[in-house]
Chains A and B, each alone.
Chain A
Amino acid sequence: MKMVTVTVTVNGEPRRASVEARKTLADFLREDCALTGTHLGCEHGVCGACTVLLDGAAVRSCLVFAVQADGADITTIEGIGGPGGELSPVQAAFRDAHGLQCGFCTPGFVVSVTAFLRDNADPTDEEIRDALSGNLCRCTGYQGIINAVRLAARAGVR
């Protein structure tokens, strides 16, 4: 299997690894970078649990090969909050509004919502629901998640 060298910046740190050309970005992050907060819920691009920021854009890391991200700046769920474990406004809002139960889908939601509120700081309810519709949650019935997005928007996400 052909190996390729991938050089990326992940959560501000340079990372370099030799990986199979077919390795997904999700597996690269989980296995080669030991960042296991990026979760795989379907591996076919529907559930959104594996969402990361690739040069600022929210993407499904199960649908991107690591080699395609060569040279990119990547933010995973581990890079969303502060270095000392401080919660970002979105993370704090998910906790405050009970926007998670089992927590497996949560990293994808937090990353998606972080990008969404960055681009739309004062969304309507319909815009929130539309923005969330690319992420699946099986525990919360979305009530707490929708409330968390409203809460984070009110708190004024950067």
Chain B
Amino acid sequence: MTTSPLQTAGRFVGQSVKRKEDPRLVTGHGRYVDDVTVPGMLHAAFLRSDVARGRITRLDVAAARECSGVHAVLTAADLNDRPAGPMLPSMFADGSQGISAPVRPLADGDVRFVGDPIALVVADSRYVAEDACELIEVEYEPLTAVVDFERAADDTENLVHPELGSNIASTMATPPDAALDEALSRAAHVVTETFYQQRQTPTPMETRGIVAHWDPYAAALRVWMSSQNPHEVRRTCARILGVAESRVRVVQQDVGGGFGQKYFMPRDEMTVVLASHLLGRPVKWIEDRRENLLSSNHARRDRATVTVGVDADGRIVGARIEHLEDSGAYANGGTGGTGMFVAMMFPGPYRIPRLGWSTTAVWTNTCGRGAYRGPWMMETVAREEMMDVVARAIGLDPLEFRRRNVIGRDELPYATASGMVYEHVSPSETLEQAASLIDYDGFRSRQAEARANGRYLGVGLGLYIEPQAGMGALGVEAANVRVEPDGTVNVFVGSGSHGQSLETTVAQVVAEHLGVDIDAVAVHQGDTDVAPFGGGTGGSRSGPILSPAARQAALEVRDKAIRIAAHLMEAAPDDLEIDGGVISVRGTPARSTTLAQVATTAYQQSDLLPPGMEPGLEVISRYKAPPVMYSNACHACTCEVDAATGHVTLTRYVVSEDCGVMINPMVVEGQIAGGVVQGIGGVLYEQIVYDDEGNPLTTTFLDYLVPTAAEVPVIEYGHVETPAATPGGYKGMGEGGAIGSVPAVFNAVADALAPLGARVNRLPLGPSEVLAAIEAAPAR
């Protein structure tokens, strides 16, 4: 179900155009990295540590090297002196963005998490490479592993990275604030609660993978990689090999999901590039699922202690958040965390006049932390769960408490206590739309009846503002729009889809603004030899940053085509229009020419062009976004908790979304749904578990429970459309579904449990956790 008409639907923009990607993908003709075969290609497998922290006392690869079909068994002695530059994401390579883990290609002398790569076997087939891994003899002297992230900072004896001298990866805080202290001391109510989020992992259905081919005769590197960010991969490869970026070509092709895990170039892929460079052969490495769950970046392990002061009218007077995050051992870039963003976004959609915060990231002997859809989302988890805790504490309904504190449209622009300025957002409208769609008041009556009958129903809200970063390397995208001599259009973009439908949505934007049929537009992405430099797809940035670039390039091409046509037709440019690739005099359709004729003239009959005009019909446009952009949404869901089994059933799920002008509502709703179900998984099913020694216990899909079709509710959508002030009015929204869903589901469960006196503050909320909370409830 969809509500709200679209304000701005155009011929293509605003329409649920069917995807251009689909005919190849539904027939099995997509081309993913494991489908790449190169003549002479070898296959790699990693031998990984099975202790969390320890010294390597013996490493014997002789038998593995003797194995038939094995070309090389590489260890730290072979590879670790080869990187010509830091094995870090580009934005972290110069150290200006803070400290990063001391990444090395392979474990050297010691291991720091279960999954730490020790050796790389390169062989004729993956089967043989794995055979040879089993022939490698490795012995360890185990050391005490740092596993508990709440105790890591104080552990000065056991250091995850001895080079760094401390398990504290970073720590920041606001200075003492007497005004905040004063506001809290005078508040009618002050509530403090601590919230935990468990360790999760993105688990794209396609694992990571790379084919790296260093050709020593061409002195050039060719890479095919499952990546969200091919230009970042190119920069990283050039840096670690010490070669020019112009000698490196990275091709992304179809990518089977990423969700942040493939945004930067991971260490393992870099190691495969180094191996290809050493061997002068194409090398393929495809991560298996066990490796993906063991050693591809994990996410989300956070703790937040929140204090909120409220006046007698239920209005927030000030808040504090103390945030702690687990960076694991080898976070991918910096601490892998987003503590600063957690702090900056904590006020979210509410008037919080004063804010104090601290954030600390710690190293542990576990898999490193990395981005996962809404990497900073602990701010929404902690804030929205706290809103319900405070509402219950002061005797207000959570919806009413939000109404008293939500920022209204008449208050915009609004500057938060953390310095974020909102202008074109609608948190109040989405809150009301979600409450209406879920029939909040009606549910409260049904809930009361059910409680009288011993059934426990709950409703939960998750209201948030989703930022899209447009600063630094994240702030620019480019599109190259080229009309070919036959009037068809090729579009080359620097960003690359891994499921976001950019082949379709960029074509919609170009067709709309150039004036051609969408079938005439082909979008090409992910090949660094032909695509303009781009920042990759992630951070909900392709909608608000790439789309304006494509729009601008299309408009400039259109303008040039009109000027050429006007010259050919001896008409005034202002009198001409383009529709469906036909350029005609407005109101006199018989006087017309075609875009094909104009393009042919532009390339092959330049004598006929207006005097002084450059031949050709092609534009590259770069768009620089504002430093931060915002979309917003409200999630609402209802559930029933079986107090005997602890099982939670989600009964309804509603999302009211405001992402500005929607390019393709079908794609928008698909993005929402995918994110929501990841969030549902994060509350009810998914958890990466380590034992006290740092042994991972969730290394298959039988242990790490991704939701299936049998568990998910029907998702209903409402749309509010507040255009952004940026060209086209588009906003980013890819991550939001995974942000708002976590507190919405959590709050619904907490609401259902409230009459039982059961208190919850930790994720996940599986049956055993729910039963434990019920059992721990004080006697009523």
Contact = CB atoms under 8 A, between A and B. Distances in A.
B32 A44 contact: no
Interface in B690-711: 700-702, 706-710
A112 to B, nearest CB: 11
Nearest to A22: B127
B700 A44 contact: yes
Contacts of A92: 26
B43 to A, nearest CB: 11
A134 B501 CA distance: 25
B666 interface: yes
Given A95-B18, A130-B710, A132-B708, A110 B205 contact: no
Q: Which of A37, A43, A47, A129 has the most CB of B within 10 A?
A: A37
A4 interface: no
Nearest to A78: B28
A34 B206 CA distance: 19
B73 to A, nearest CB: 19
Interface in B6-62: 18-19, 21-23, 25-32, 34-35
A123 B38 CA distance: 45
Contacts of A104: 30, 32, 204-206, 254, 256-257
A74 B172 CA distance: 60
Nearest to A40: B34
A37 B28 contact: yes
Tier of interface size on chain B: 35 or more
Interface string B197-233: 0000011111100000000000000000000000000
A61 interface: no
A100 B712 contact: no
A95 B26 contact: yes
A14 B194 CA distance: 64
Contact of A46 (B255, B257, B700): B700
Interface stretch (B377-385, B563-571, B667-675): B667-675
A133 interface: yes
B712 A103 contact: no
Nearest to A100: B25
Contact of B28 (A36, A43, A94): A36
A144 B256 contact: no
A77 B706 CA distance: 24
Contacts of B205: 39, 41, 47, 49, 102, 104-105, 136-139
Q: Which of A49, A87, A105, A138 has the most CB of B within 10 A?
A: A138
Given A101-B499, A101-B501, A130-B710, A110 B26 contact: yes
Given A95-B26, A103-B26, A136 B667 contact: no
Contact of A43 (B288, B500, B677, B707): B288
Contacts of B23: 85, 87, 95
Contacts of A91: 26-27
B701 A44 contact: yes
A23 B19 CA distance: 36
Interface string A15-59: 000001011000000100001111111111011010000000000
The A interface, classified by DSSP as helix, strand, loop or mixed, is loop
Interface in A127-158: 128-130, 132-146
B762 to A, nearest CB: 24
A39 B256 contact: yes
Contacts of B666: 98
Tier of interface size on chain A: 35 or more
B676 interface: yes
Contact of A139 (B254, B499, B669, B700): B499
A85 B672 CA distance: 31
A46 B34 contact: no
Interface string B254-298: 111101000000000000000000000000000011000000000
Contact of A77 (B28, B204, B667): B28
A38 B31 CA distance: 11
A43 B206 CA distance: 11
Contacts of B558: none
B715 interface: yes
Contacts of A143: 669-670, 673, 712, 714-715
B673 A138 contact: no
Contacts of A136: 205, 701, 706, 708
B498 interface: yes
Contact of A138 (B204, B289, B714): B204
A130 B670 CA distance: 21
A36 B204 CA distance: 18
Contacts of B710: 129-130, 132-133
B674 A37 contact: no
B371 to A, nearest CB: 15
A128 B26 CA distance: 19
A110 B676 CA distance: 23
B678 interface: yes
Given A42-B289, A132-B710, A136-B706, A80 B674 contact: no
A106 B29 CA distance: 11
A141 B23 CA distance: 21
A101 B22 CA distance: 8
A144 B673 contact: yes
B13 to A, nearest CB: 17
A158 B259 CA distance: 37
A132 B710 CA distance: 7
A67 to B, nearest CB: 14
A134 B493 CA distance: 36
A81 interface: yes
B662 to A, nearest CB: 14
Given A36-B34, A85-B23, A136-B708, A141 B676 contact: yes
Given A41-B206, A138-B205, A138-B674, A146 B709 contact: yes
B27 A140 contact: no
Contacts of A40: 34
A144 B670 contact: yes
Contacts of A49: 205
Contacts of A132: 708-710
Contacts of B500: 101
B28 A141 contact: no
Nearest to B671: A101
Contacts of A78: 27-29
Interface in B135-161: none
Given A87-B26, A129-B709, A136-B708, A101 B701 contact: no
A66 B186 CA distance: 74
B27 A87 contact: yes
Interface of A: 20, 22-23, 30, 35-44, 46-47, 49, 76-78, 80-81, 85, 87, 91-92, 94-96, 98, 100-107, 110, 128-130, 132-146
Given A44-B701, A128-B709, A142-B709, 4 more contacts: A110-B26, A139-B670, A143-B715, A145-B709
11 contacts: A36-B28, A43-B289, A77-B27, A98-B667, A100-B26, A104-B205, A104-B257, A106-B26, A132-B709, A138-B204, A140-B677
A-B pairs, 9 with minimum CB distance: A37-B28, A104-B256, A103-B25, A102-B499, A77-B28, A141-B677, A141-B673, A101-B499, A132-B709
Interface of B: 18-19, 21-23, 25-32, 34-35, 127, 202-207, 254-257, 259, 288-289, 498-501, 666-667, 669-678, 700-702, 706-710, 712, 714-715, 737
